[in-house]
Amino acid sequence: MVGEMDSDKQDVPFFTKLFTLAQILGILSIVLIGVWGGVFRGGFAWTSDPALQFNWHPFLMVFGMVFLYANGALIYRGFRFEKKKKLKLLHMLTMLGAFVCSVVGLVAVFDSHNYAKPNPIPNMYSLHSWMGLATVLLFCFQWVSGLVTFLLPGLRPSVRSAYLPVHQFFGLFIFVSGIATALVGITEKTFFTMMKTYSNLPPEAILINFSGITLILFGAIVVYLATNPKFRRLTTEDEVLLTDTVLE
Amino acid sequence: MVGEMDSDKQDVPFFTKLFTLAQILGILSIVLIGVWGGVFRGGFAWTSDPALQFNWHPFLMVFGMVFLYANGALIYRGFRFEKKKKLKLLHMLTMLGAFVCSVVGLVAVFDSHNYAKPNPIPNMYSLHSWMGLATVLLFCFQWVSGLVTFLLPGLRPSVRSAYLPVHQFFGLFIFVSGIATALVGITEKTFFTMMKTYSNLPPEAILINFSGITLILFGAIVVYLATNPKFRRLTTEDEVLLTDTVLE
């Protein structure tokens, strides 16, 4: 098994198995976070009910910054036998979708604080909020830099290939930060709502803890798939340099 | 700058700068966590005062699982012009130190719960506790596997080189999980102690948030130093395979 992984040729069946496992864990995370808001926390609403509007926040952040983001990052590997131009466009569009979800998720939390009854809830004081805002701002900067460098014409190939490892490193840093922020946020919300009952481990608490564990497993597999050079696109050396493989 | 980083030769001055910055951030994290316990949370004690015994927990976990662990991981890079045998031994011993600190840190939190007055505090129910225990158990398994595979005689070089990327991947996974667990734990403790005042951002809250940010920056730089192939040991190809470079 380990020997297999160490061999030089691309291991497509192994990639497919891990990729499938990652998708299952990713979808499971979304379902668990959805059940948390939908079943245990009263369901979803928009400005009509600020407390229920909040529930969109964890759901959209996990769907956007974790699940869609991971799929955007893995596009060069999941579809590595496709044309590079097509993959670049798909990468950019998936990341745009991830970003839009995140922004709507941020609107949800700010609205739920600002319109809370009887008094507004303060914003941007917790470690979670600092981590989250920094991560989304970095993501925004990363998306624009990627667009300008790799998709718009004009920059020399030498500039593109020099920026690529930076783009890849920050890409994974933003992803891991997003998951860490989610874990901190899950804990924060749990202490707001279940301070007295968390330690009895009622069903909601178990669901919360498992949603954290699935997020971590999802993150670990995605980072593995994104960094293992065996799973990179098969193409000319130059193309590999311009499209693929983090951290090497 | 990026062009420099992308060149083929080892960039010792750049490594030294980043390595120094990492040490500063690591020491800053320890100081901030120490000031949190020592100044804002009443100081340190052992079983004589369970509430103060708790304060050893964040301090020892950050010192062991984050700071010492990172230095253990970076030994092959920080001292990459030394003999490999010496580095292996130093790596193993630093990691043993990190493990011992972590175990004492765990004793501190279990004691502080079990001997709390008037009633014991429950153990092992929160996401933080699940993440933390899993991380320390993985670390224990990783240390023993590393010892058996790389330091004790008997295993074939092919087994060693097949296990190396696994050891490296899990090594960084454990490190990042340790930091994520710290961030979740910091948030948990903050909600236990400052639920009502956190949002006013008193000095303690600002110190807490900054300790989280320094941990993240420290983690990011350490992972970068540990994965960038430019900083690997200069040695024969076989030795490189057996000692160095995660994820490639």
User: What domains sit in chain B, N to C, each tagged with a CATH number?
Assistant: 34-236 (1.20.120.1770)
CA distance B144 to A183: 29
Helix, strand, coil abundance in chain A, percent, nearest 5:
80, 0, 20
Mean pLDDT computed over every residue of chain A: 91
Option in B131, B179, B245 nearest A212 (CB)? B131
> Can you tell me the mean pLDDT for A81-108?
96
The ranges of chain B with pLDDT < 70 are 1-9, 234-248
> Is the pLDDT confidence value at A213 over 80?
yes
Query: A14: which residues sit within 8 A by CB, 6+ positions away?
Result: A4, A5
CB B3 within 8 A of CB A163: no
> Is the pLDDT confidence value at A6 over 70?
no
Q: Could you report the per-residue pLDDT of A157-175, keeping only the tens digit for each? A: 999 999 999 999 999 999 9
Q: Which of A238, A183, A191 is nearest to A212 (CA)?
A: A183
Option in B127, B198, B227 nearest A183 (CB)? B127
Residue B246 burial by CB count (10 A; 0-12/13-18/19+): exposed, middle or buried?
buried
* Residue A6 near chain B (CB below 8 Å): yes
Averaging pLDDT over each range in A80-84, A216-220, B1-5, which range is the top one?
A: A216-220
> Can you tell me the mean pLDDT for A27-44?
98
Q: Which of B212, B185, B225 is nearest to B29 (CA)?
A: B212
pTM passes above 0.95? no
C-beta atoms of A177 and B216 within 8 A:
yes
B 121-180 → A contacts, CB under 8 A: 121-122, 125-128, 130-131, 158, 161-163, 165-166, 169, 173, 176-177, 179-180
Q: Identify the residue whose tokens are 């999980």.
A: B177
- pLDDT for position A232: 84
Residue of A nearest to B158 (CA): A3
Give A240 or A91, the one with higher predicted confidence. A91
> Can you tell me the mean pLDDT for A25-36?
98
Option in A166, A192, A247 nearest B248 (CB)? A247
- pLDDT for position B247: 39
- pLDDT for position A235: 56
Option in A121, A127, A208 nearest B187 (CB)? A127
CA distance A157 to B1: 16
A 55-84 → B contacts, CB under 8 A: none
CB B214 within 8 A of CB B66: no
Chain centroid, CA A151 distance in Å = 22
CB A181 within 8 A of CB A134: no
Q: Report CA Rg, chain B.
A: 20
Instruction: Report residue B121 as tokens.
Output: 């505090």
* Residue A14 near chain B (CB below 8 Å): no
Averaging pLDDT over each range in A101-105, A228-232, B81-85, B232-236, which range is the top one?
A: A101-105
DSSP secondary structure of B65-117: IIIIHHHHHTHHHHTTTS-HHHHHHHHHHHHHHHHHHHHHHHHHHHHHHHT-S
C-beta atoms of B131 and A216 within 8 A:
yes
C-beta atoms of B2 and A224 within 8 A:
no
- pLDDT for position A244: 47
> What are the b/e assignments for B169-203, b being 16+ CB within 10 Å?
bbbbbbbbbbbbbbbbbbbbbbbeebeeebeeeee
> Is the pLDDT confidence value at A183 over 60?
yes
